Structure 1
Amino acid sequence: MTKAMKIAIVDDEKDMRQSISQWLALSGFDTETFASAEEALKGINSDYPGIVVSDIKMPGMDGMQFLRKIKGLDSTLPVIMITGHGDVPMAVEAMRIGAFDFLEKPFNPDRMTELAKKATNARRLTLDNRALRKELSDGSALMQKLIGASPSMVRLKEDILDLGQADGHVLIEGETGTGKTLVAHALHAVGSRANKKFVLISCAAYDEDTLVRRLFGPAQEDEPIPAMEEARGGTLVLEDIEALSQSLQARLLTAINEQGTPAETRIVAICNLQEQNKTCESVLRPDLFYRLAALRITVPPLRQRGEDILTLFTALSEQFADEYGCDAPQVTAQEAAQLLQAPWPGNVRQLINVAERAVLQSRRGSGTIASLLMSDSDEEGRPAMTTEGKPLKEFVEAFERMLIDNTMRRHKGSIVAVMDELCLPRRTLNEKMAKYGLQRSDYL
């Protein structure tokens, strides 16, 4: 569930601090109070998970000096200023410096709550975006998002680490929903350009004229700088590369050739043609294709990833359960087999949807995973199961691994509790954990 944002209340008058704090706490906020600006600055940093409410007139460092200090720490941190009667010109100056808004005493408490909600929503968005940018620049964090230990995923991770260190252009192929854009982010994050610009453009999202300007310029007044210029020194990702017209393909090839070797800007092209029985090679002009496909990565479809399906489903359902404030659904042996047998035409994207719907069903106490897979049946109403036979041993081992993994998670690594619930002697449990690569330290 979403954690309440903090509100730092700064006022030298004790009664005013307490009354504001009590009102905002009743409105669902997590408040903390400070008797002076100097004291508040000891508890506020650039990543402060909330907002500030401050009086303007205070002894020592006044509200205006305090506001300037806060803006020096983090220009995006919202500060609501409280003014006395007749201090409106000072409040206007505070707004010019960067205050979020101001309240004139005596103020309406409901107005205070309204402003606090707006300011905390703005702060949450800023912090989320900041965290996302940090995550997308962290190669290790991105590699952890590529969940799975199947041979195809191990090979994919090795390819990312190898090609990330290279400097040539890359072509990423794979079915819709397999995570090709995440792979592009990871390629950038683990390579030598990690601290440079990462720019992503969908070639299918613009008409021809707009795409020419977006890629090469000249940009119109209200448009960002051209992507080739913006990504200089870094990585330019072109999603849906197959959507480029012949003339744009020629323009892109010229731009690539003009860069020389090594390339000033690395191009990562993403192709989405596998479901249409076409190839990127068949739709791109040969000279462009061979420039872009100097290095190639194929992202495996979910149906070929074996027990990764159960590992992913467990991780996703726990994530959604935490978000919705409920327990994750327990998967039966039959449901595990059904998850492994499903063809997953939408790949990981489809699995994400099924996991979220399974959590919502579980919270209501109704529905099954089988019913969710049935709802994804084909036009003739046949269940969403593969015709590709899998040996019984594969189903049994995948379910066994998932069962031990889930139980270890639930008991936070307590071997005794897991032995008791699964009715397994310690030696057998240890052998099975070793067989499936499960480490007790991961659950503590």
Structure 2
Amino acid sequence: MDIKRSVAIIDDEAHLRESVAQYLQLYGFDTTTYDAAEPALKQISPDFAGIVVTDIRMPGMDGMALLRKMQSVDPGLPVILMTGHGDVPMAVEAMRIGAFDFVEKPFEPERLRDLCQRATEIRARTLETRALRRELSDGTVLMRRLMGNSPSVAKMRETILDVAQADGHILILGETGTGKSLVARAIHACGPRASKPFVTLNCASVQAGQVEAMLFGAEDWPEKPLIDQAEGGTLCLEDVEDLPPGAQARLLEAINAADPTGGAARPLNMRIVAVSSRLGNSPPPAEVMRDDLYFRLAGLVVEVPPLRARGEDILALFSHFTIQFAEEYGCEPPTLNAGDAANLVQAPWPGNIRQLINLAERAVLQARRGETNISALLIDDGFDGPVMAVDAEKPLKEHVDAFEKMLIDHALRRNQGSVAAVMTELALPRRTLNEKMAKYGLSRQDYL
């Protein structure tokens, strides 16, 4: 987390004001000084990436009035008060109404430094949380995070926009690590319930005996039930197949507009988005999920494609993540050669995007040491397919031909010689595919 160590210092006494500023600057804080509250208020906005240190006793607007103004501008802005001995009761009252802390003059500089350090860390977390919330409520931002131009991803984005405008319950299907949770948030953010709560429960991470209490409440459960927290918005149930039988029954009651507490019937004013890496397009066995609940949740279905089916998206995603990690580690991102690119595209990616992110970070760490062997990292990850080597003496056309042959060869293997399936996967017309297979000596019979 990048912490901005900015401090606005407000005091009418120039000597104290400048002394505090110089001391904090020695410890890496960026300081701005003001001789009165009014000019400081004009400069400090809700997005101010720092904290405020102010005296209490000042002509015009005093520190207490300034604190109240700051609270109305941004209740999450840390304000530290400097006070004389006689003003301690006032400072205690200030903390009650929202001040971060106070120091009594004459104070130890180290105490003020430590307070400023803690306050800036808290401020950074506050602003980071706000930014995340804004992002999670912005459908356009979330859709941009669903990167890729492959036909499968383009189709998924269209589906998200379509189902987001409907109001039925949704089942999101896909392998682990494909980004299903991001898709769920995108559906919420692009729909009419975007301004309402988005509440998530990972059914696999909660003890079976607690799931019902968390969802519907219980006498010995102190927290507000999730079904009430999500009122008007979206309830996202991750790993929905792990819902215990009792919770499945009560959820079905709620969906069927019956009060889950056994009282009068009431409509369920929320959308349920169920997420699963193990369910499919047909009802699961009864011991996994009751079929009446499955059909309720699967009114609309969104399938998130596995990474191995996304073709050149793999290279774009790998480049994106290596650039991010290179910035984090302060080095240059690794450069892909033709062999690395071919092997990345052909790897099976059982861990999908999550695995790709992990590999991108290891590739950056490798590059920082002056090495570049991405294909070796893939082998370490269990890739047991043919590794394409690169001969630096070959012209570009031969590299391109070798890459193209590998793509078609692997597509034929995956689809057991089905030309129609290969045409769909590689977006090639039959005549073009036949010509390329003949060019590279590939026969359908060899893959049946």
Instruction: Output the TM-score relative to the length of structure 1.
Output: 0.82
Give 1:262 shift.
8.4
Aligned partner (choices 302, 317, 330) of residue 297 of structure 1:
302
Sequence identity (%): 54
Letter in 2 for 1:226: P
Separation in 1 of the partners of 2:67 and 2:350? Answer: 54
Q: Indicate the residue corresponding to 2:169 in structure 1.
A: 169
Change (3 A) 1:213 1:262: closer
Alpha-carbon distance in structure 2 between the residues aligned to 1:219 and 1:128: 36
Aligned ranges for residues 200-279 of structure 1 at < 5 Å? Answer: 200-218=200-218, 220=220, 222-223=222-223, 225-258=224-257, 264-273=269-278
The count of corresponding residues between Structure 1 and Structure 2 is 389
Look up the equivalent residue of 1:251 and give its one-letter code.
R
Q: Displacement, 1:85?
A: 3.4
The residue type paired with residue 239 of structure 1 is E
* 1:342 aligned partner: 347
Q: Equivalents in 1 of 2:121, 2:405: separation in Å?
A: 46
The alpha-carbon distance between structure 1 residues 119 and 397, as it changes in their structure 2 partners (threshold 3 A), is farther
Map of 1:281 onto structure 2: 284
Q: CA RMSD in A?
A: 2.6
Is structure 2 residue 362 aligned with structure 1 residue 357?
yes
Amino acid at match of 2:284: E
Q: Distance in 1 between matches of 2:212 and 2:282?
A: 24
Contact 1:377 1:384 survives alignment (8 Å):
no
Distance, in Å, in 2 between the alignment partners of 1:366 and 1:171 is 44
Q: What is the CA–CA distance in structure 2 between the aligned matches of 1:372 and 1:335, rounded to whole Å?
A: 10
Query: Equivalent residues in 2 for 1:43-54 (5 A)?
Result: 43-54=43-54
Structure 2 gap segments, 5+ residues each: 259-264, 389-398, 408-448
Cα deviation for residue 352 of structure 1 reads 1.1
For 1:143, the aligned partner's letter is M
Partner of 1:16: 16
Distance 1:284 1:109, change over 3 A: same
Deviation of 1:8 (Å): 0.8
| Contact kept in structure 1, 2:165 and 2:191, CA below 8 Å | yes
CA drift of 1:393 comes to 5.4
Give the equivalent residue in structure 2 for 1:366: 371
Give, in whole Å, the separation in 1 of the partners of 2:266 and 2:156. 26
Alpha-carbon offset, residue 60 of structure 1:
0.9
1:65-104 paired onto structure 2 within 5 Å: 65-104=65-104
Conserved in 1, the CA contact under 8 Å of 2:232 and 2:270? yes
Change (3 A) 1:394 1:177: farther
Q: What's the secondary structure of 1:258's corresponding residue?
A: coil
84 and 62 in structure 1: CA distance in 2 versus 1, 3 angstrom threshold: same
Q: How far apart, CA to CA, are the structure 2 residues paired with 1:230 and 1:38?
A: 40
Preserved contact between residue 340 and residue 395 of structure 1 (Cα < 8 Å):
no
Q: 1:312 aligns with which of 308, 317, 322?
A: 317
In the alignment, is the contact (CA less than 8 A) between 1:342 and 1:384 conserved in 2? no
Q: Distance in 2 between matches of 1:394 and 1:162?
A: 40
| Residues 128-207 of structure 1 mapped to structure 2, 5 A cutoff | 128-207=128-207
Deviations 1:186-219 (A, max 9, x none): 0001011111111111111222221101111136
In structure 2, relative to structure 1, the CA distance for the partners of 1:12 and 1:302 (3 Å cut) is same
* Cα pair 2:212 2:246 within 8 Å, conserved: no
Deviation at 1:314, TM superposition (A): 1.1
- Structure 2 CA distance, aligned partners of 1:156 and 1:238? 20
Match of 2:442 in 1: none
Question: Structure 1 residues 393, 19: closer, same or farther in 2, change over 3 A?
Answer: farther
Q: Which runs of 5+ in 1 are unaligned?
A: 400-444
Quick one: distance in 1 between partners of 2:401 and 2:158?
A: 28
Deviation at 1:253, TM superposition (A): 0.9
Q: Distance in 2 between matches of 1:238 and 1:262?
A: 19
Supply the distance in 1 between the matched residues of 2:403 and 2:386 (Cα, whole angstroms): 17
Deviation at 1:315, TM superposition (A): 1.2
**In the alignment, is the contact (CA less than 8 A) between 2:4 and 2:49 conserved in 1?**
no
Q: Please, which moves more after superposition, 298-307 or 239-248?
A: 239-248
Question: How many Å apart are 1:58 and its aligned residue?
Answer: 1.0
Q: 1:110 maps to what in 2?
A: 110
Q: Which has the larger radius of gyration?
A: 2
CA offsets 1:278-302 (integer angstroms, 9 cap, x no match): 9763332111111111110110000
In structure 2, give the amino acid aligned to 1:266. R
What letter matches 1:373 in structure 2? L
Q: Where does residue 429 of structure 1 map in the other structure?
A: none
Residues 17/46 of structure 1: CA separation in 2 closer, same or farther (3 Å cut): same
Tell me, yes or no, if the aligned pair for 1:4 and 1:28 is still in contact at 8 Å: no
Question: Aligned with 1:86: secondary structure?
Answer: helix
SS in 1 for 2:93: helix
- Work out the CA distance in 2 between the residues paired with 1:262 and 1:170: 17
